[in-house]
A and B are shown apart, each in its own frame.
Chain A
C-alpha cells in the first residue's frame, strides 16, 4: 500500500468512520446532549480536515507527476466473469470537484456548529452530514459505476434523513418520504444502466464503458439513458423538479449543501463523467437540450413569484442547473464544469446567508413583475409551480393507489383463502396462549389451502421420521443374536457327540483320499 492508495481510501472512509464513532459514542452513552457537542463537531471536522489533507496530497501528486488516472486498490466482488473493482478515477474533473466539495463541506460544517447549537439531534445531524460527505466524495472519485452507486445511495439516504430532521412534524416526514421516493426512481435508472452494462459489456468500469467498442448505438443509448435519468432526477430537472422544493424542510446548512451546492450537482457531475457516451448518442443530446430549456423556463417563472427566500433560491438553482444541462447537450463540457463550480460556491453562500435576510430586509418582498401580472394564466401556472406535484400525483400516485386497492381485493378474495389469514395468528393473542396457541394454530380454520397442505405434508414426513429411528432395534437385535447363538450352540453340542465326531473323521478321510 503506497501513500497514494492510502490517501485515496482515506478520502471517503474517514467521514464514514467519524459517523460510526459518533454513533457508537451516542449508543454507549458517552456523547449526549449539549455536553457532547464539542466532541461531536471536533470528530466531524477533524475527519473532514484529514480527508482534505489527503486531497491536497493528491493535488500535489497531480501537479508534479500528472493525474494518476485509474488507481486499482483491490476488488470488492469477484464471481466468475462478474467483477466489481475497488478503484478510483482521478482526473481533472474529479480532482476539481473533490477540492470544491471538501472546501464547501468544511465551511458548512463550521457554520453548523453554531447554527445547530443546543438543537436536539445535534449529534444526529453531524452523523448524517458525515455520511453524506463520504457519499459525495465517493460519487466523484468512483472508478466504476457500481462504486458510484454506493455513494449515490449514501447521498440519497442522508438527504432523506436530513429532510426528516424534525421528525416530530408530519410535514417533514411526508416531504422526506416524497423526496426519497422520487430519488429512488432515479436509482432505478442507475440500476437499469448497471444491469445492462454488466449484461452487454461485462463490466461497469468507466474505462470499459467509454472504450470505443463499435457497439450498436442502441446499447449505448439505452445504457446512457438509464444514467441520464438518474442524473436528471438528482439534479431536479424539468419533469422531476417537484421533489426539491419539498426537500427544503431540513435545517438551513443541510439545505445549503444538498440543494444549493453539492447534491444537486451530483447529477451534473454524472453527465460530465459520461461525456464519451453522451457524445455518441445524438438523440440523447437533443433530449438534454430540451429538458434543460424547459427547466430554465420552469425555474425562471416559478422563481419570479416565490415569497420566501429559500424557495426562490431553489428555483433559481433549477434554472442554473438547466443551463448546465443545455451546455452539456450542446457538447460544451468544460463550460458546464466551470459553471458548476462557480454556481456551487455562490449558492452555498446564498443559502447560508438566507436566515439572516429576515433580519436585514425590512420592507415587504418585491411584487411579481408587471408583465407577469398582465398574463394571469402564466402567473397562476407559476404560482402553482406548473402543477408538477399534482401531475405526479395524478400520473403516478393515484394509479398506484388504485392498483393497491385492487391488489387488496384480490388478496382478500383469493390469496388469503389459499394461504391462510395472517391476522388470525395475531401476535398478542397467541403470545400469551403459549403452547395452547400452537394447538390453535394447527386446528384453525383460517389456515388456508396452502397451510393445510403443508400440515398434511408435515404429518406425512413426521410419520416417515418415526419409521426411520431404530427405536426397538436393541430388543430386536438382541432377539436375533440370541436366536443365531442358540442355533450355533446346538451345532456345537452335536459336534461334541462321538457319532458326529466319527462322521467328521470319516468324511475328512474320504476328502483326503
Chain B
C-alpha cells in the first residue's frame, strides 16, 4: 500500500520532539493553549504510531520499517531504527501512556509550559529507546530519558522531591556505567566495527561463554536498575511516591519496561550467557516477586503500595524472561504490556484522588462506590486486574509464565504462587477498604472523574478487559519475534 511510504520511525521520533520545540515558543501565561497543544500533539503521535499496525506484518521475522543512516563511520555508529514484535507493543504502549499522562495532568498548575515540554521530550527519548537498533543510539536515548525525568521529579514532585530525583539519577547513572562498559567490551569483541544490534550479535556468536557472561553481567546491572531487580531498586519507591502522579504513570508504565526490554535484547545478543545465568535470573525474579509483594502489603500509603507492587509485577516479567522459551516469553511480553496498562491506571486514579482530597492513606478512604462511583468502578477494575483476575490481560500473562515455569522449574512454582497470593491480599484489601463500607467521617466530598479523565481510564481498562478475553491479537503481534528468540536459546 502507498501508506508505507509515509510511515517512518524517524518521523515518529521527530513528532514529539518538534512539538516540544513549538511549545517552547508558546506564551507561558496561556496555560490552556499549551495544554491543548500538548494533548493534540500526543494524540497525533499515538495515531501515527497506531498507523504502523496497518503495515506491520506479524509473519515476517526480523526487523521492519528499517531506516539506516551512517552517523559516524569512524566510530561504527549509525542512526539505525527498526521494530520487531518485541519492540512494537512497547512503542504503542509508550505512545498510549504519554497520551494518558497528558490527559491526566490537570493538577499541574505551575510552570505548565516547561512541564509539557519535558513530557514531550521524554516521549521522544522513550520512543527512541524502543525503536533504536544500534547500541550507541540506544544508549544515547536511554540516557536522554534521564534529563526530562530529573526535572519532572525535581520541580513538580512532592515534599522529598530533591532526594527522590537525586536517588533516581544516581542509581540509573551508576547502572549505566556498567552497561556502557559492557557495551564497549561487546563492541570490541565483536570486531565488526559496528554498534548495530545485528552486527554485534553476529560478531559475538563465536565468543566464549566466560566472556559472554562478563558482558551480560554488566548489562544486567544496567538494565536491572531500571527494571528493577531486587537489590538495585532503591530509587523506585521514593521516585514513584515523590514524582507527580502523571509522571508516576510514565515511570512505572514505561521506564520499567525499558529495563526489561533492554534485558531481552541483551539475552538475544548473548544467548550462551543467558542460558548459563538462567538460574540466577530465576532466583532474582523470585526474590523480587516475593519481596515486592510483601512490602506492598505493608504499605498504607497508596502510591507506595502501587510502587512496590510494580517491583513484584516486574519480577513476574523477569520470571518470564528467565524461562527463555516461547511460552514464557509470551508471558513476559504480555505481562509488560498488562502491567503498563494497570500500573498507569492505578497511578492515575490514585493521583487524581490525591489531587482532590490531599490524602493518600488507604484507611482514610471508604465507601467510594457511593460517593464516587466512576472512581470506584475503574479502581475496582484496575485492582482486579492487578491481582490477575481471569478476564483481564494480566491473567493471560501470569498463566503463560506459570505454565512455562512449571516446565522448567517444576516445584518452585509454589513460591511463585505464594507471591501471587500475597499480591492478591493487598489488592483485595485496598478494594475492600476504599470501595466498600461506610463513608469516612471527616473526608470532605470530592468530584467524581470528569469526562477527560473518564476517557483516559476507560481506554486503559477497556484494553485490559478486551485483551483479557481475546488476547489473540497481542499474542499474534509478538509471536514471530518470540519464536525467533526461543530459537536462539536452543543450547
Contacts and interface: CB of A to CB of B under 8 A. Distances in A.
Interface of A: 75-80, 427-428, 431-432, 434-435, 437-438, 454, 457-458, 461-462, 465, 468-471, 473-474
Given A75-B472, A454-B297, A468 B163 contact: no
Interface in B227-259: 231, 233-235, 237-238
Contact of B294 (A427, A434, A454, A469): A454
A392 B436 CA distance: 39
Given A78-B475, A431-B438, A468 B298 contact: no
B294 A458 contact: yes
Contact of B326 (A77, A80, A462, A474): A80
Nearest to B291: A461
A457 B294 contact: yes
A437 B361 CA distance: 13
B36 interface: no
B57 interface: no
Nearest to A461: B295
18 contacts: A79-B327, A79-B330, A80-B327, A427-B432, A428-B437, A431-B366, A431-B433, A431-B437, A432-B438, A454-B294, A458-B294, A461-B294, A461-B295, A465-B234, A465-B237, A470-B171, A470-B234, A473-B167
Nearest to A435: B363
Contacts of A437: 363
Contacts of B339: none
A473 B361 CA distance: 29
Given A79-B475, A431-B437, A457-B294, A471 B330 contact: no
A474 B162 CA distance: 10
A423 B471 CA distance: 39
A431 B367 CA distance: 10
B363 A434 contact: yes
Contacts of A471: 163
Contact of A434 (B237, B440, B472): B440
Contacts of A458: 294-295, 297-298
Interface residues of B, number: 37
B364 A434 contact: yes
A10 to B, nearest CB: 19
Contacts of A438: 300, 363
A473 B170 contact: yes
Given A434-B364, A457-B294, A458-B297, A470 B167 contact: yes
Contacts of B476: 78
Interface string B178-206: 00000000000000000000000000000
A438 B298 CA distance: 10
B472 A77 contact: yes
B166 interface: yes
Interface string B347-369: 00000000000000101101000
Contacts of B436: 427
A438 B472 CA distance: 43
A187 to B, nearest CB: 17
Contacts of B171: 470
Interface string B465-476: 000001110011
Nearest to B325: A80
B161 interface: no
A78 B472 contact: yes
A431 B365 CA distance: 9
Given A78-B476, A427-B436, A435-B361, 20 more contacts: A76-B472, A77-B472, A79-B330, A79-B475, A80-B327, A431-B366, A431-B437, A434-B364, A437-B363, A454-B297, A454-B422, A458-B294, A461-B294, A465-B237, A468-B231, A469-B238, A470-B166, A470-B170, A473-B170, A474-B166
A124 to B, nearest CB: 22
Contact of B400 (A75, A79, A427): A79
A469 B232 CA distance: 10
Contacts of A80: 326-327
A428 to B, nearest CB: 7
B225 to A, nearest CB: 11
B62 to A, nearest CB: 22
A469 B167 contact: yes
Contacts, number: 71
Contacts of B234: 465, 468-470
B474 to A, nearest CB: 11
Contacts of A474: 163, 166
Nearest to B366: A431
Contacts of A427: 432, 436-437
Contacts of A77: 471-472
A468 B233 contact: yes
Contacts of B433: 431
Contacts of B366: 431
Contacts of B163: 469, 471, 474
A427 B367 CA distance: 12
Contacts of A462: 295, 298
Nearest to A462: B298
Contacts of B330: 79
A471 B472 CA distance: 46
Contacts of B432: 427
B24 to A, nearest CB: 31
A167 to B, nearest CB: 23
A199 B410 CA distance: 19
Nearest to A470: B167
A448 to B, nearest CB: 13
A79 B295 CA distance: 34
Given A432-B438, A470-B234, A465 B363 contact: no
Nearest to B441: A432
A471 B163 CA distance: 7
A79 B403 CA distance: 11
Contact of B166 (A76, A454, A473): A473
A471 B170 CA distance: 12
Identify the 8 closest CB pairs spanning chains A and B, nearest first.
A468-B234, A458-B298, A431-B437, A461-B295, A434-B363, A457-B294, A458-B294, A469-B234
A76 B470 contact: yes
A76 B471 CA distance: 8
A452 to B, nearest CB: 13
Contacts of A78: 472, 475-476
B150 to A, nearest CB: 15
Interface string B363-406: 11010000000000000000000000000000000001000000
Contacts of B361: 435
Contacts of B422: 454
Nearest to A471: B163
Nearest to A472: B163
Contacts of B437: 427-428, 431
Interface string B270-291: 0000000000000000000001
Contacts of A432: 438
A431 B363 CA distance: 8
A79 to B, nearest CB: 7
Nearest to B361: A435
B329 to A, nearest CB: 11
A192 B163 CA distance: 58
A474 B164 CA distance: 12
A470 B433 CA distance: 33
Contacts of A79: 327, 330, 400, 475
Nearest to A442: B298
Contacts of A76: 470, 472
Interface string B425-444: 00000001100111010000
A458 B470 CA distance: 37
Contacts of A454: 294, 297, 422
A411 to B, nearest CB: 18
A454 B440 CA distance: 29
Contacts of B291: 461
Nearest to A436: B363
Nearest to A437: B363
B467 to A, nearest CB: 12
Interface string B149-180: 00000000000000100110011000000000
